[in-house]
Amino acid sequence: MRRLMTQALVQHVTPDTRTAALIALVHAVGCVDKIVDPRHYGMSKRELRARAEEIAKGNWASEAVRKAIEEMMAAVFIAITAGAGAAAAGSAG
pLDDT digits (tens, 9 = 90+) for 28-66: 888 999 999 999 999 999 999 999 999 988 866 666 777
- Listed by start position, the domains of the chain span 2-92
pTM (whole model) above 0.75: no
Tell me the per-residue pLDDT of 10-26, one tens digit each, with 9 for 90 and over. Answer: 999 999 988 998 898 88
DSSP letter string, 45-75: HHHHHHHHHHHHTSTTS-HHHHHHHHHHHHH
Split at pLDDT 50, 70, 90, the class of 73 is confident
